[in-house]
Amino acid sequence: MPRDVAFKQVDVFTQVPFLGNPVAVILDGSGLNTGEMQAVARWTNLSETTFILPSEHADYRLRIFTPLSELPFAGHPTIGSAHAAIEAGLVTPRAGRLTQECTAGMIDLHTEPDGRIFARAPKPSVRRVDVDLARLSSAIGAPIEADPAPALVDVGPVWLIVQVPSIEALSGATPDLAAVSMMSAAAGAIGISAFTIDTRMDAAERVHLRTWAPAAGVPEDPACGSCNAALGAYLGATGLLSRTGRSYVAPQGRQMGRDARIAVIVRSPEKVEIGGHAVTVIDGIIHLN
């Protein structure tokens, strides 16, 4: 039977509408099966659509879908959905803390006095990957550094992390999306995230990155929380945190006309947090069958 459900579209990692990364949030996904959720996500055609559900173990349970598949965890949908749940009065942080249940497990969140919401990513694992650097460079359309070598980082989604030599090389990257899809699949990753450390910038904003996941229906992600968590783990594993510090803010999406800001805190190799602001842009009702 058709029913109306509260719906929000939240712009994440920004305080200014249209400059972050939007997520569609269905505030009550009860009664929808996986196929129906996937159909809604395909229709919204955003990088992610989420469904808030009751949980016996956490403040709420979250299911996260790209237009093509379900994800065990994703950063900006987690931050945006927490913002939506708090704003709608579905949950109330206790001493600024919340717990989210998702396929990747329990996710601890906390709010800051400045309005930012932080989430601890699932325990990351970093491993070297044997990849043809020339082919990988051709796929993303930018030169790739051999030292430190590219790696696969698992934070729920698995990202192939690569370093490029400069902000100019990163900004000028012209990816071949078919090749990115092929090389991501061959490596066992959802997509590729390329980064650079610009030492000309203040230490707090030296990290810049771009992320492509065309096989998941996301040609380029304007602000990717999980890949920023993966990158934080990579920086820690490769010793590059000495150039950035354990706490920094990564801008992302400028090549797409956005200006997202993702805060990253690397507390230890096993504890990486990502966070930022979020703002509701659309608040209304979605008609579900």
8 Å CB contact between 115 and 261? no
What percentage of the chain exceeds 90 in pLDDT? 94
What percentage of the chain exceeds 70 in pLDDT? 99
Supply the residues annotated as catalytic.
Answer: 48
> Which pLDDT does position 3 carry in this prediction?
87
For the chain, the average pLDDT equals 96
Mean pLDDT of 90-96: 96
148 and 113 fall within a common domain: no
51 and 180 fall within a common domain: no
> Which pLDDT does position 269 carry in this prediction?
84
36 and 101 fall within a common domain: yes
CATH number of the domain at 63, please.
3.10.310.10
Q: Please, which pLDDT band fits residue 97 given cuts at 50, 70 and 90?
A: very high
For residue 1, pLDDT over 70 is answered with: no
> Which pLDDT does position 62 carry in this prediction?
98
Q: Write out the two tokens for 14.
A: 């920004």
162 and 262 fall within a common domain: yes
For residue 162, pLDDT over 90 is answered with: yes
257 and 132 fall within a common domain: yes
Alpha carbons 254 and 248: distance in angstroms, whole number: 18
Q: Please, which pLDDT band fits residue 140 given cuts at 50, 70 and 90?
A: very high
* Contacting residues for 218 by C-beta, under 8 A, at least 6 apart: 47, 66, 67, 191, 212
* Residue range(s) defining the domain that contains residue 249: 125-269
143 and 107 fall within a common domain: no
At 171-230, the pLDDT tens digits run: 999 999 999 999 999 999 999 999 999 988 886 789 999 999 999 989 999 999 999 999
Alpha carbons 94 and 140: distance in angstroms, whole number: 44
65 and 145 fall within a common domain: no
133 and 240 fall within a common domain: yes
132 and 55 fall within a common domain: no
At 17-75, the pLDDT tens digits run: 999 999 999 999 999 999 999 999 999 999 999 999 999 999 999 999 999 999 999 99
Q: How many CB atoms lie within 10 A of CB 66?
A: 25
> Which pLDDT does position 203 carry in this prediction?
67
Q: Tokens 């450390």: give the residue.
A: 197
Q: How many domains does the chain have?
A: 2
Bond into 124 cis (ω within 30): no
Q: What is the dihedral of CA 71, 171, 246, 276, to 10 degrees?
A: -60
49 and 80 fall within a common domain: yes
146 and 253 fall within a common domain: yes
For residue 272, pLDDT over 90 is answered with: yes
151 and 253 fall within a common domain: yes
Amino acid code (one letter) for 233: A
Alpha carbons 112 and 170: distance in angstroms, whole number: 31
Alpha carbons 194 and 224: distance in angstroms, whole number: 12
